[in-house]
Amino acid sequence: MTSAPSTTALDPQTVRGDFPILATRIGDSPLVYLDSGATSQKPQAVIDAEVAFLTGSNAAVHRGAHTLAADATELYEDARAVVAGFVGAEPEQLVWTSGATAGLNLVAYAIGNATLGRGGAEARRFALAPGDEIVVTETEHHANLIPWQELAFRTGAVLRHIPVQDDGMLDLEAAASVIGDRTRVVAFPHVSNVLGIVNPVAELVALARAAGALTVLDACQSAPHLALDLPALDVDLAVFSGHKMLGPYGIGGLYGRSDVLEALPPFLTGGSMITTVTLDEASYLPPPQRFEAGTQPVSQAIGLAAAVRYLDEVGMDAVHAHERLLERRLRDGLRSVDGIRLLGDAPAGVDRVALSAFDVDGVHAHDVGQFLDARGIAVRVGHHCAQPLHRRFGLTASVRASASLFTTEDEIDTFLDAVSGVRGYFGVGR
């Protein structure tokens, strides 16, 4: 990292110098990147870390006795320790995955394997019987919904959901009735990727604990923006993706309480996750290696560790404080534009990240996106892999603007000015 501040105040102009892509122009306009909720941009420190490994230490990890292999293994496991520490975990509690989707599928399939009797006596507590219940929310990204649909199909379990209110808040009164004696898994997002609302983790975990259910947290939209301590949140398992938190593609993390990871049977199998193999059976390594079959994402893990070091140096409290200012400016500005409907416009005081999804009356989201792109403004349009949530609000698509630590207030104003001209440009509302 070259110049990001280490004080509690974050200067986005200083930070921006660390992100080469932000100098890009789209046609005649400077890039205004408001699509960090989909994927974040990468600071030079992350790019340099991957290049340095590939040009100076590239070798297979945990397999060779030569110098390069030893160096690569040390860098790889050091990266695990750095990223684990970022979320408050111990290194052995962090499983490398290719992303949050892979982590969620790993958990769902491991539970399915436990249901089939794999994993022995320790894994029986995860086994599902017909009529057992898996609880999700109406706000889920498809990655935290479809794996549970499939697990319910394979096991005869019943999938239930916690509804969302008109203001975007989860209905906790309904949650208390949905989570009950038959609930075995409660999976939910820390932050909705459409609404930007920080969900009440403590309340949901308490309901799950009272029912004896396993808790699974989707932390994709919180890890880049909030100081995370997953053990303190008391969740059993959690996932996050590197590419959303300034890191490379193809890398993510699955956090698990030690007793949970030690009891779960593996999902993917092959090399690197075994102790003894005969032609008839195999014995598996303890976690996290038990869940890391095959070729490891070495350069990606090292790149993610560089991203975490960068965020640590800036300071997550400073990141959150800066982004809260952006969130208020963004949301207040959108409220002031005629014909804009915000999704999940929760009351003041509700904690959020700097992410807002909205509908423009009379103009399709894709047309809004093209209008903004012609002015150099990058946003996300569509259902954001959350079709049930959009259906809840009577929509098939929305426009989503999502900021990051490098976003400036001037960029938010540029975006708001452009949005205010959308309906007039398309001849709507005259």
Give tens-digit pLDDT for 59-109.
999 988 899 999 999 999 999 999 999 999 999 999 999 999 999 999 999
Same domain, 307 and 419: no
Report how far residue 386's alpha carbon sits from residue 396's, in angstroms, rounded to the nearest whole number: 10
Same domain, 255 and 291: yes
Same domain, 202 and 277: yes
Q: Which of 254, 289, 311 is the last residue of a domain?
A: 311
pLDDT reported for residue 356:
97
Find the domain containing 85 and state its range: 50-311
Same domain, 263 and 332: no
Same domain, 227 and 256: yes
Collapsing DSSP to helix, strand or coil, 355 comes out as strand
pLDDT reported for residue 63:
84
Same domain, 32 and 67: no
Domain-located, residue 7: no
Same domain, 238 and 107: yes
CATH number for the domain that contains residue 169: 3.40.640.10
Bond into 287 cis (ω within 30): no
Asked if residues 314 and 45 have their Cβ atoms less than 8 Å apart, the reply is: no
Count: domains in the chain:
2
Q: Is the pLDDT of residue 290 over 70?
A: yes
Q: Which of 296, 311, 326 is the last residue of a domain?
A: 311
Same domain, 39 and 74: no
Q: Is the pLDDT of residue 4 over 50?
A: no
The confidence band for 7, taking pLDDT boundaries of 50, 70 and 90, is very low
Mean pLDDT for the stretch of residues 401-416: 98
Same domain, 247 and 293: yes
Domain-located, residue 330: yes
DSSP 77: H
Q: Choosing from 38, 385, 420, 426, which is the catalytic residue?
A: 385
User: How many CB atoms are closer than 10 A to CB 346?
Assistant: 18
Collapsing DSSP to helix, strand or coil, 217 comes out as strand
DSSP 91-127: GGGEEEESSHHHHHHHHHHHHHHHHTTTT-GGGGGG-
220: annotated active-site residue: no
Those residues whose C-beta lies under 8 Å from the C-beta of residue 328, and which sit 6 or more positions away, are none
- Average pLDDT over the chain, rounded to whole? 96
Same domain, 185 and 287: yes
Same domain, 319 and 305: no
CATH number for the domain that contains residue 356: 3.90.1150.10
Same domain, 20 and 61: no
